[in-house]
Amino acid sequence: MSSWKARCFWLNLHTFLYVLGRDRLGAADHTREAVAGAPTDQAAGLEKLSASDRRAWEDAVSTYAAGLSNLDAVLDAEMVDVTSALSRSGGPTAPLPALPATVRSALERAAPLYRRIWWPAHQKANETWVGAMRPLVDRHGPSILTFITRAYAARWPEHGHPINVAAYSNWAGAYSTRGNAPGGRRLTRSPSRRVTR
């Protein structure tokens, strides 16, 4: 039905910075349940960083707050394009795809810190969520798929749509976009939990 990606390092870093930038801006959605834990998650990690590393992290969050965090994750093409490109990237050692220079720079500055401090817990939570969802999708997916394809008169791709799992995504906790990826939708899902270390 779908392909699950729980180990997409760059996408997880990007969405974490996006949500933190929206919190810094005081965006109307920053206190919604799906994202409200991000500042606490960030604060716990910042305590483990040196002063210079904290400044580097804060600079990356500031870059997002001045740019992408002002955009809607679903409706604004620039944000959708960046998220789609990053959703096709791999683990923590995968190279970054082509991105706007300011976004690329922010991700490159934040990556070593995220990889060391937040990524292990985020990745584990993502994989735990996928493990919990797989049996439900195996059990209920075929009947849901029949309903969806009939209701929308849509054809489902043979290998399904990708589900990109991220510790944080947006205020709704999950969303889909058409994206610029060949063949379909990009879904991002935040496990409904606060990350714990």
The pLDDT of residue 187 is 53
Q: What percent of the chain has pLDDT over 90?
A: 55
Domain coverage including residue 133? 2-189
Smallest Cα–Cα separation from 178: which of 169, 168, 165, 187? Answer: 187
pTM: 0.87
Residue 117 lies in a domain: yes
Residue 183 lies in a domain: yes
pLDDT tens digits for range 70-98: 999 988 999 999 998 998 887 788 889 99
Residue 195 lies in a domain: no
pLDDT tens digits for range 127-138: 998 899 889 989
163 backbone dihedrals φ, ψ, rounded to 5° = -115, 110
Residue 109 lies in a domain: yes
| Bigger pLDDT: 119 vs 31 | 119
Q: How many domains does the chain have?
A: 1
Strand (E) or helix (H) holding 84: helix 77-87
Residue 196 lies in a domain: no
Rounded Cα–Cα distance for residues 130 and 82 (Å): 24
Rounded Cα–Cα distance for residues 175 and 18 (Å): 14
Mean pLDDT rounded to a whole number for the chain: 87
Residue 138 lies in a domain: yes
Residue 58 lies in a domain: yes
Residue 194 lies in a domain: no
